[in-house]
Structure 1
């Protein structure tokens, strides 16, 4: 494992964690009526931009997310942790590649905020009008199904422990606390992903709505339920835990290629 790969991973973990911590804190303040607002990625980036040295923070965060994306691509293409070429390993590596694409987009969004005028993120984002209604319907349904599967996989992986085992934390300091934090965070993230999947499926089957739904809309949806305050608090705290989990990874993450000493490797 090259040292440069480990540095990329550590910077990426911190950057990804910060995004989720900010989203969680802003949403928690909103749930407690302490001045925050239901927040998504756009709102978190806008919040950073409004702080002292906001543009510097955005630049560092965007650069860090690029590092995270590059680390995902390195894992998927070069397999530095030697996950292998079995069917399950290939599927995991494909998932890492798609994750890299997603966070490349988030990094681009951070740089967009950096180089444009203030953007509040309050306006709804719409798909291009030239997309036909039939194509849009099938597109929404397909996205909804993919997100629903992702949410179920996250819940299953967190419940069985396999999702957290991939981070190789066992034996590290504060192992149990970090693992519990990660499990709670993955449940919260899965919950929000399932809500967003519901939005897309509903739009595809019924409303023909062209608006993109995201994390902020999921928190807004929670506000409409009878247990809104409790659900929002739990989900927001879960996002904070999820973000903190990745920040802790920057220090305590072990890499698979480090697991076996040379003398322990098969001859």
Structure 2
């Protein structure tokens, strides 16, 4: 191989290494930012369960809570930038594939594309709040009702809302099953953990993932009901969905369990930020 070819190969490998380093940093920052949001939402849900109904247990409420802390503005910007990192990581997976033997399959790329779109929206809402410091991105309940009302007005909107709701229910079930079966082991550097650390990560992953899946499935079920009844008011965001758990025969105790699960998922996100394969 001549000198020019060696130089080109060296530059190519250097670019790959640099891209890998940037992607890894973005992924770990994004997972940590996700953890912060789930910790805040879980804490707010606990307060609701114990009678503080003035709290808004969703992303907007979490941002409001964070803004009131010392250096709140700095924390908000750090959170938003971390979520941008998460979006860029998912975009990288959609374009170049993810780690693992099936990381370049169409299914994985499509899943990464969906996650990219989701985190673009979340990052935008957080950064918008960091700039304006108003409304915390809006109530998730009102956003859900507004989006459902607009969708129902278009041709075949009732079918569209119903299909979207079913998709969210299926996604929630998949999240819960993925957690209970510990499928996340494939994404973690288990060899770098002690036995005790692995047990603790499993507690947060299984319980936290199951709680997260339950919440997603419930949100989807309310969307399906909104479609069947042709009533946008039936749709619920995260806050109303969590409050609904307290209205079951089990009472606030069920909401306490779900809130605790969301707190554990926040901790699990920090574990992912530390040991995730990127």
Q: TM-score, normalised by structure 2?
A: 0.82
RMSD: 2.4
Cα gap change, 1:191 to 1:130, in 2 (>3 Å): closer
Q: Distance in 1 between matches of 2:122 and 2:97?
A: 24
Q: Choose the corresponding residue for 2:207, options 171, 181, 184.
A: 184
- 2:238 matched to 1:218? no
User: Bigger radius of gyration, 1 or 2?
Assistant: 2
Counterpart in the other structure of 1:152? 173
Q: Does 1:3 align with 2:24?
A: no
Task: Tell whether the 8 Å contact from 2:142 to 2:237 is kept in structure 1 after alignment.
Answer: no
1:27 aligns with 2:45: yes
Instruction: Sort the Cα spacing of 1:207 and 1:221 in 2 relative to 1 into closer, same or farther, 3 A.
Output: farther
| 1:253 maps to 2:269 | no
Q: Which is helix-richer, 1 or 2? A: 2
Closer, same or farther in 2 for the Cα pair 1:187/1:84, shift >3 Å?
A: closer
Distance 2:162 2:169 in 1: 10
Q: Under a length normalisation based on structure 1, what TM-score does the superposition of the two structures give?
A: 0.85
- One of 217, 241, 251 as aligned partner of 1:228: 251
User: How many Å separate the matches in 1 of 2:181 and 2:113?
Assistant: 23
Q: Please say if 1:165 is aligned against 2:185.
A: yes
Tell me if the contact between 1:38 and 1:219 (Cα under 8 Å) persists in the aligned partners.
Answer: no
Q: Which has the higher contact order (CA 8 A, sep 6+)?
A: 1
CA distance in 2 between partners of 1:52 and 1:211 (Å): 38
Using the alignment, how far apart are the partners of 2:233 and 2:226 within structure 1? 8
Q: Gaps spanning 5+ residues in structure 2: where?
A: 1-16
Tell me the distance in 2 between the aligned counterparts of 1:198 and 1:82.
33
1:90 is matched with: 106
1:240 paired to 2:258: no
Residue deviations 1:98-122 (CA, integer Å, cap 9, x gap)? 1111011001000121222521645
Runs of at least 5 residues in structure 1 that lack an aligned partner in the other structure: 256-267
Aligned residues between the structures: 252
* Structure 2 Cα separation of the partners of residues 62 and 170 of structure 1: 29
d(CA) in 1 for partners of 2:254, 2:219: 15
Q: What is the CA-CA distance between 1:251 and the residue it aligns to?
A: 2.0
List 4+ stretches of structure 1 deviating above 6 A.
Answer: none
Give the Cα separation in 2 of the matches to 1:12 and 1:130: 30
SS of match in other structure, 1:181? helix
Q: Deviations over 1:186-212 (max 9, x none)?
A: 100111011101110110001421675
2: distance between equivalents of 1:136 and 1:246? 35
